[in-house]
Structure 1
């Protein structure tokens, strides 16, 4: 057993080439698949979970260094098998939580969902959903609706509304009946003004569930409550701000002063 002044596991990881030194190992808190290490499908997907499958917990004065998987199913990952073969023991399938019980495993589940959504690989996400959670997938759908790739000239989100609906249906998310109420559950529109005076109307969802957030984004885009700015960020539209201010009224007043039906 390691004493407070020894770090057998850390020294072994450095000696076997899995980390350049202990300082970098403690900064990264993980082992990454090295460049040039060939991975078959689905392990070659652009997921941070698949690129960094092993977490490493640094030692402290009372506890030695620990190593574990960021998800139990990563036991079949080719790099994990390679590391186990070099180290000569099985890596803990339940992660490497620190002395406070924190593990990066839950964060890695979110990485897997959002990385594949932003890579426009939602089909692959559904095919590997066992590595993430339903809530992570729905949060990732909302993220994909909210933001766009910087090279996307259309600036229309990482995922289309049609594809977003397909993903939501695949994870068993029930579509709410009251579209307006779903959007109005978001925080009230509030303007942000930049130094040059330009206005931006960010969408704040508060502490809503992942399902409510995702459906609200979908409805907001479909019904014109939200629109993308030139940079591809989703924000409240003028129509959406007017509709929100009207509440559940059957009519609302447009900026032109004319009344309109809220449907």
Structure 2
């Protein structure tokens, strides 16, 4: 069987949207030129806005496909430029490969986590139509779990619990009544010593939903169950480990003193 000519790939390279066939196949997307000035909101630091067009590789009997990472990206200035240069329309549903896989769902996560990581959570709320509430909830948990590495060496999360609460309120999330029960949905604390320099108490497991997972980090920080280590990663505190071990009991044993304390 004669292989199909990759006319679309040749045209994308000819028009300067990809440097060569190798890079086009490697990235499976088109990248907005770094020197292209973009108006708001397209200039936000979101990979969804930086790589707005998906391109799948051709096969022997299937031509290359091209589509949008999100239907609303049709108004992106770079997308308009590409669309005007091609004789075919960009599929608003993306460009799945021969196995039916598309990066469009991943793009929804990119948008949420990238803006949270940059501290631009208000911009995320303003462009929430480019992602989903579930991805925003997961990004809130991510933003509380990890810290950035800026010049100020901030080591207490990409966002604060106050900012996280504002995001949750904007999304109409309801704070759980049973705080302790929610935190017990996470896996029991277990220590590890990956580099031989001391104990580390990572937070593992997930709550039953993305919304509750975000709340578990907010409440865990506020109630002292979690704390940030020197690297800025959120871990179980000694108090949190003791409380988790006590379950739903009204008292718990302080591991540092061996004394019984009330579980407020």
Q: Structure 2: state its 5+ residue gaps.
A: none
Q: Distance in 1 between matches of 2:16 and 2:207?
A: 44
SS of alignment partner, residue 110 of structure 2:
helix
Name the counterpart of 1:86: 85
Q: Distance in 2 between matches of 1:261 and 1:154?
A: 33
TM-score by length of 1: 0.96
Aligned to 1:10: 9
Alignment of 1:129-140 (within 5 A): 129-140=128-139
Rounded Cα–Cα distance in structure 2 between residues aligned with 1:214 and 1:260: 28
Q: How many residues of Structure 1 are paired with residues of Structure 2 in the alignment?
A: 261
| 1:3-82 map, 5 Å | 4-82=3-81
Q: Structure 1 residue 189 and structure 2 residue 184: aligned?
A: no
What CA distance in whole angstroms lies between the structure 2 residues aligned with 1:8 and 1:28? 18
Report what 1:219 is aligned to: 219
Q: 1:225 to 1:106 in 2, by over 3 A?
A: same
Moved more, 214-223 or 55-64: 55-64
Counterpart contact for 1:205–1:213, Cα < 8 Å: no
| 2:261 paired with 1:260 | yes
State the superposition RMSD in angstroms. Answer: 1.2
Instruction: Judge conservation of contact 2:113–2:136 (CA < 8 Å) in 1.
Output: yes
Greater CA drift, 243-252 or 170-179:
170-179
Runs of 4+ with >4 A deviation: none
Contact 1:114 1:137 survives alignment (8 Å)? yes
Equivalent residue for 2:237? 237
Report deviation, 1:85: 1.0
Q: Is the 8 A contact 1:145 1:158 kept in 2?
A: yes
1:165-204 equivalent positions in 2, closer than 5 A: 165-204=165-204
The aligned runs of 1:145-184 (5 Å cut-off) are 145-151=144-150, 152-184=152-184
Query: Cα deviation per residue 1:52-99 (whole Å; 9 max; x = unaligned)?
Result: 000000011221100000000000000000011112432111110112
Counterparts of 1:153 and 1:203, CA distance in 2:
22
User: Gaps (5+ residues) in structure 1?
Assistant: none
SS at match of 2:63: coil
Give secondary structure in 1 for the equivalent of 2:83. Answer: helix
Distance in structure 2 (CA, Å) of the matches to 1:79 and 1:183: 45
Deviation at 1:207, TM superposition (A): 6.5
Q: Under a length normalisation based on structure 2, what TM-score does the superposition of the two structures give?
A: 0.96
Match of 1:205 in 2: 205
The one-character-per-residue Cα deviations of 1:100-121 (angstroms, maximum 9, x if unpaired) are: 2211000000000000000000
Indicate the SS of the match to 1:140: helix
Q: Is the 8 A contact 1:113 1:136 kept in 2?
A: yes
Q: Would you say the 8 A contact 2:250–2:263 is kept in 1?
A: yes
Say whether the 8 Å CA contact 1:96–1:103 is kept in structure 2.
yes
